[in-house]
């Protein structure tokens, strides 16, 4: 059996250059820009463990084999594998593996060309100021925050199909949006939890750690931040945070009787139509919230 011709073997300028070259070709762009996203979507720690096992058991041996075959074959992938097959007294059909490697590299380059095109396009749009040209009406989302008192995680239909309660309107909101399934309350009682949501701070940081304790006017709430950003911000219903930060909202209507939901729809309908809005809607009785028409009313408007 004749032996495939080997070309002249070039040299690397340094060992560092040699290490960086195969490392760069092996890592791939996907490991940089999608790794954190894929890890989060597939279980976090277990995904990373499986990834590392595949890296050690599959990727590293394959990369070493590529380097060894390329170093001794001194040619293109098909010719290098053909030379290796000849030396090992194996069929030259193994050369097809090299052809497949070249085709795979072509597909990867096609993918990278598309990604590079996106990068160039976004760079052009950014320097042209396209990202900063949206108006308040066109470029800002509306926020509707509904906070229920004493509503259990398993009390709503979209979390528990066998729940005793009927929550068709909340189920409608859940089916048309995003449902967060893993979360923790900042505190076991009402006021500190509400203050944590509005300030983005833990109770020990914003100073409100007891039930019915007022939130200090030194704290900045979402109502003020969004108001300064051009939003109409309004709190309607149960409040429980005292009077010092009420003025940070465009409007703050505290309801202390009934379910605290009586004026929700009314205030939504009367909001300024020329501004994006942030509504903080807090109920006092969870049963009234689940049976109210707030969800269908909001969706229809």
Angle between the N-to-C axes of helices 60-73 and 77-87, in degrees from 0 to 180, rounded to the nearest 10: 80
Q: What is the pLDDT of residues 191-236, one digit of tens each?
A: 999 999 999 999 999 999 998 899 999 999 999 999 999 999 999 9
**220 and 279 housed in the same domain:** yes
Please tell me the number of Cα atoms within 13 Å of 267 on its side-chain side. Answer: 23
Q: Is residue 146 part of a domain?
A: yes
The larger pLDDT score, comparing residue 12 to residue 276, is at: 276
Question: How far apart, in whole angstroms, are the C-alpha atoms of residue 297 and residue 146?
Answer: 14
SS3 20: helix
| DSSP category for residue 246 | G
Pick the last residue of a domain from 114, 130, 146.
130
pLDDT band at 26; cut points 50, 70, 90: low
Per the structure, how many domains does the chain have?
2
CATH of the domain at 186: 3.40.720.10
Supply 80's token pair. 């290098």
**218 and 122 housed in the same domain:** no
Supply 130's token pair. 């396209």
Question: Which pLDDT belongs to residue 138?
Answer: 57
Query: CA of 175: how far to CAs of 103, 172, 279, in Å?
Result: 43, 5, 21
User: Are the beta carbons of 259 and 229 closer than 8 angstroms?
Assistant: no
Pick the last residue of a domain from 79, 104, 130.
130
Q: What is the mean pLDDT of residues 58-75?
A: 77
65-69, 110-114, 129-133, 200-204: least confidently modelled range: 129-133
Q: What is the pLDDT of residues 172-182, one digit of tens each?
A: 988 888 888 88
**60 and 193 housed in the same domain:** no
Q: Is residue 8 part of a domain?
A: no
Q: Where are the alpha helices (DSSP H) in 3-151?
A: 15-27, 30-33, 35-41, 45-54, 60-73, 77-87, 95-127, 136-139
Question: How far apart, in whole angstroms, are the C-alpha atoms of residue 57 and residue 41?
Answer: 23
Q: Which residues pair with 280 in a beta bridge?
A: 145, 235
Beta sheet of 143-147, edge-to-edge order: 143-147, 277-282, 232-237, 251-254
Q: Is residue 3 part of a domain?
A: no
Q: Is residue 56 part of a domain?
A: yes
Q: Is residue 147 part of a domain?
A: yes
Which residues have CB under 8 Å from 230's CB, separation 6+? 136, 140, 275, 276
**45 and 140 housed in the same domain:** no
**296 and 221 housed in the same domain:** yes
User: Which of 164, 186, 6, 23 lies closest to 86, judged by CA?
Assistant: 6
Q: What is the mean pLDDT of residues 158-182?
A: 86
Pick the last residue of a domain from 130, 152, 169.
130
Hey, CA dihedral for 238, 195, 191, 296, is it positive or negative?
positive
Query: CA of 26: how far to CAs of 16, 22, 109, in Å?
Result: 16, 6, 14
Which residues have CB under 8 Å from 226's CB, separation 6+? 143, 233, 278
Question: Which pLDDT belongs to residue 210?
Answer: 92
Q: Which residues pair with 254 in a beta bridge?
A: 237
Average pLDDT of the chain is 80
Question: Which pLDDT belongs to residue 19?
Answer: 74
Question: How far apart, in whole angstroms, are the C-alpha atoms of residue 6 and residue 89?
Answer: 17
65-69, 71-75, 142-146, 158-162: least confidently modelled range: 71-75
Supply 25's token pair. 């070709």
**296 and 147 housed in the same domain:** yes
**96 and 177 housed in the same domain:** no
Q: Is residue 4 part of a domain?
A: no
Q: Is residue 295 part of a domain?
A: yes
**281 and 140 housed in the same domain:** yes
Q: What is the pLDDT of residues 242-274, one digit of tens each?
A: 999 999 999 999 987 777 777 888 899 999 988
User: Which of 62, 71, 54, 57 lies closest to 97, judged by CA?
Assistant: 62
Question: Which pLDDT belongs to residue 15?
Answer: 77
pTM: 0.51
Q: What is the pLDDT of residues 89-124, one digit of tens each?
A: 888 777 787 788 778 778 877 877 887 888 888 888
Question: Which pLDDT belongs to residue 136?
Answer: 47
Question: How far apart, in whole angstroms, are the C-alpha atoms of residue 246 and residue 195?
Answer: 12
**64 and 178 housed in the same domain:** no
Supply 300's token pair. 């229809």
**182 and 107 housed in the same domain:** no
Q: Is residue 246 part of a domain?
A: yes
pLDDT band at 8; cut points 50, 70, 90: low
Supply 289's token pair. 């919230």
The larger pLDDT score, comparing residue 152 to residue 131, is at: 152
**158 and 215 housed in the same domain:** yes
Domain range for 110 is: 15-130
**45 and 144 housed in the same domain:** no
């Amino acid at each position: 059996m004749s032996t495939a011709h080997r070309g002249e073997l070039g040299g690397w300028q340094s060992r560092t250059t040699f290490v960086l070259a195969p490392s760069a070709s092996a890592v791939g762009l996907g490991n940089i820009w999608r790794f954190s996203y894929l890890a989060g979507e597939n279980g976090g720690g277990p995904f990373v463990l499986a990834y590392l096992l595949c890296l050690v058991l599959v990727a590293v041996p394959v990369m070493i084999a590529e380097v060894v075959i390329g170093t001794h074959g001194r040619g293109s992938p098909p010719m290098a594998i053909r030379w290796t097959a000849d030396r090992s007294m194996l069929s030259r059909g193994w050369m097809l593996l090299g052809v497949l490697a070249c085709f795979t590299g072509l597909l990867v380059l096609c993918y990278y060309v598309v990604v590079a095109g996106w990068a160039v396009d976004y760079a052009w749009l950014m320097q042209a100021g396209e990202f900063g040209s949206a108006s308040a009406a066109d470029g800002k989302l509306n926020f509707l925050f509904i906070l229920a008192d004493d509503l259990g995680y398993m009390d709503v239909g979209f979390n528990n199909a066998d729940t005793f309660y009927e929550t068709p309107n909340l189920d409608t909101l859940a089916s048309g949006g995003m449902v967060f399934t893993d979360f923790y309350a900042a505190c076991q009682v009402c006021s500190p939890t509400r203050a944590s949501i509005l300030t983005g701070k833990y109770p020990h940081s914003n100073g409100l750690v007891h039930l019915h304790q007022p939130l200090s006017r030194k704290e900045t709430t979402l109502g003020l931040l969004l108001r300064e950003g051009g939003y109409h911000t309004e709190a309607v219903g149960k409040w429980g945070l005292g009077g010092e930060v009420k003025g940070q909202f465009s409007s703050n209507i505290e309801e202390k009787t009934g379910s605290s939901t009586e004026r929700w729809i009314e205030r939504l309908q009367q909001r300024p139509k020329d501004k994006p809005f942030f509504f903080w809607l807090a109920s006092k009785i969870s049963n009234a919230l689940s049976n109210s028409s707030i969800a269908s009313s909001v969706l229809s408007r």
